[in-house]
Amino acid sequence: MAKIKITQIKSIIDRSERQKRTMQALGLRRINHSVEVEANPAIIGMVRKINHLVAVESI
């Protein structure tokens, strides 16, 4: 499968607990922190839930 790079671009302060836990599950810790993950259906679904907080790039 393809890999994607996910970068946190906005703060999680004042976000719902569900969004905070999704960010934590993806491994994002702070603004401008990036992770590279396999693009499987579970990851794609998680990114869609927090797409307003992250930037996504194909690798």
Which CATH architecture group holds 3-58?
Answer: 2-Layer Sandwich (3.30)
pLDDT on residue 1: 77
For the stretch 19-37, pLDDT in tens is 999 999 999 999 999 999 9
Q: Tell me the domain boundaries of the chain.
A: 3-58
pLDDT on residue 20: 97
What's the rounded Cα separation, in Å, for the pair 3 and 58? 6
pTM for this prediction: 0.92
pLDDT on residue 19: 98
What is the arithmetic mean of pLDDT over 13-24?
Answer: 97
pLDDT on residue 32: 98
Consecutive H or E run containing 54: strand 54-58
Mean pLDDT across the chain: 97
